[in-house]
Amino acid sequence: MSKFEDLEKKIGFSFENLSLLKEALTHRSYLNERPNWNFPHNERLEYLGDAVLELAVTEALFHQFPELPEGELTVYRAALVNYQMLSKIALSFNLDEFILMSKGEAKDVGKGREVILANAIEALIGAIYLDQGFEVTKRFVTHFVLSHLDDILKSGSYKDAKSTLQEIIQDKLKVTPTYKVIEESGPAHQKTFRVGVYFGNEFIETGTGNSKQEAELEAARQALKKYQ
């Protein structure tokens, strides 16, 4: 059994176009060491898979919770599709063993590895979508992603730092925290964002991250240190 067949068995999905799976597993760094590799890196598939994943989760939540307003559904969705959750899901079927990356990237065991895993599972979702369409992709998302919803609801982990900060500040100050990008740096494929959180016109704290969402969460965490 080939490496790719082994992954197909783990996820219960067989590709008609195996090239899509190979592309989904190719991290940009791998091409630096293997310039003759015949497949592109996975960032375009990641871009597609991110949108497909968000739609699949949004649709499922919309039907499962007809009484909930848009704001609460958004919080639930964020808890299911953030990079920490996606990296945890990727590890559940050992996706890390199949990603093609440079030796240097392979040694990273911190946040960088979590981001690579999250990006790879989004690329995998994009590949499944191109290979066999949305209905089949939804089955994958239901099995691997939406299956964590009950645990999130029971533990209350969907209440991220932004949600908690909003509850506290609306109660204490009667305003809703807002977020603004202060600075962007780094190349297009590896940007770093610095975001400020404001209460009305008052600047409170900053946070940095590899996405606007991540930077906003970090800014909220820093603000919570002052207001909890």
Residues noted as catalytic: 50, 122
SS3 209: strand
C-alpha dist (Å) from residue 223 to 9, 116, 158, 195, 198: 45, 28, 18, 12, 9
The two tokens of residue 222 are 């820093």
**Torsion, CA 84, CA 153, CA 147, CA 74, rounded to 10:** -70
Question: Which residues, in sequence order, are bridge partners of residue 108?
Answer: none
What span, in angstroms and rounded, lies between the C-alpha atoms of 210 and 108? 16
d(CA 187, CA 173): 39
In Å, what is the CA distance from 107 to each residue of 28, 51, 92, 113? 15, 29, 19, 9
d(CA 190, CA 188): 6
CB burial readout 135-155, b (16+ within 10 A) else e? eebbebbeebbbebbeebeee
Q: Which helix (H) or strand (E) holds 222?
A: helix 212-227
